[in-house]
Amino acid sequence: MSLNSSLDGSERDSNLEGIRVVVVDDDPFVQQTLRNYFDEVQEIEVVGIFRSAVDALSFLQNCQVDVLITDVWMPGMDGLQLLSEVKQAMPEVAVVIFTSFEDDEVMRTALDRKASGFLLKSSLPEELIRGVIAAHDGGITLSPSAAYRLVSQYLRPLPSVHADVTEAELTVLNLLCEGYSNAEIAEQLFVSEATVKSHVSHLMKKYGVSSRLKLVVATHQERRRFSSPDE
């Protein structure tokens, strides 16, 4: 079967209730590498591999897919355009950006457009597999270097637009966005780690998120809107 086509019914295990994945990348080596990774994982079923974002979008409109993995820089429609099209027409499809380039602006744009992951092609197979499973479960996965840059460069201490965030919670939130652990925050503020955990739990509830990473990403998105009100 050509790597530029979808899998037909005879090539799928009809008894497998896996995570249905589509891959979009114009590099045949990357296509085959991802095929090899996912063939080893029972929970993941690759239902299509495409060189063209336009072809992938057409396929997505006619086939149930759980997770889309896409490169960024491709001829014609690029991965960010594909992300926007998919989230507008099929918001239930999780999209993971898979790229060779550590481009911070691309990462921020992808997160603002509700990508479920930003992973580098240098990632270990298990990191990519965890990212796909997390995306399917509603989570967000960033490569370690991307996550570090996100919290260290882009999340500067700013007021929260959430009126119900207390001063103590805001202090914890700012330190969290700078990459501090609970223990380090507790040491900085001369409080117990349990107190910090309580503040983080309250913040996650107020922001409507289920993890520390989602809280950081939500804060990043909020602060970009706060600093650019006309966008």
Task: Check: pTM over 0.75? Answer yes or no.
Answer: no
| pLDDT (average), residues 27-55 | 93
Topology at the third CATH level for domain 9-149: Rossmann fold (3.40.50)
Residue limits of CATH 3.40.50.2300 in the chain: 9-149
- Asked whether 25 and 70 are in contact (CB, 8 A), the reply is yes
How many residues in the chain? 231
Query: Which carries the bigger pLDDT value, residue 132 or residue 231?
Result: 132
Residues 158-217 have pLDDT tens digits of: 445 565 888 888 888 888 877 778 888 888 888 898 999 999 999 988 888 888 878 888
CATH code of the domain occupying 157-227:
1.10.10.10
Proportion of the chain above pLDDT 70, given as a percent:
81
Give me the DSSP letters along the chain: --TTSBPPGGGS-TT---EEEEEE-S-HHHHHHHHHHHHT-TTEEEEEEES-HHHHHHHHTTS--SEEEE-SS-SSS-HHHHHHHHHHH-TTSEEEEEES---HHHHHHHHHTT-SEEEETTS-HHHHHHHHHHHHTT--EE-HHHHHHIIIII------S-TT--HHHHHHHHHHHTT--HHHHHHHHTS-HHHHHHHHHHHHHHHT-SSHHHHHHHHHHHHHHHH-TT-
Buried b (16+ CB within 10 A) or exposed e, 176-192: bbbebebeebbeebeee
11-15, 19-23, 107-111, 197-201: the lowest-pLDDT one = 11-15
Helix axis angle, 28-39 to 125-136, nearest 10°: 70
Given a cut of 60, is residue 5 above it in pLDDT? no
Residues 6+ apart with CB under 8 A from 137: none
| pLDDT (average), residues 42-71 | 94
Q: What angle do CA 194, 139, 182 make, to 5 degrees?
A: 20
**Cα separation of 200 and 202, whole Å?**
5
* Mean pLDDT of all residues belonging to the chain: 82
- pLDDT of the residue at 180: 79
Given a cut of 80, is residue 148 above it in pLDDT? no
Query: Which carries the bigger pLDDT value, residue 17 or residue 105?
Result: 105
Query: Which carries the bigger pLDDT value, residue 12 or residue 80?
Result: 80
| Band of pLDDT at residue 225, cut at 50, 70 and 90 | low
Residue limits of CATH 1.10.10.10 in the chain: 157-227
- pLDDT of the residue at 228: 54
| pLDDT (average), residues 64-78 | 94
Rounded to the nearest angstrom, the gap between the alpha carbon of residue 125 and the centroid of all alpha carbons in its chain is 16
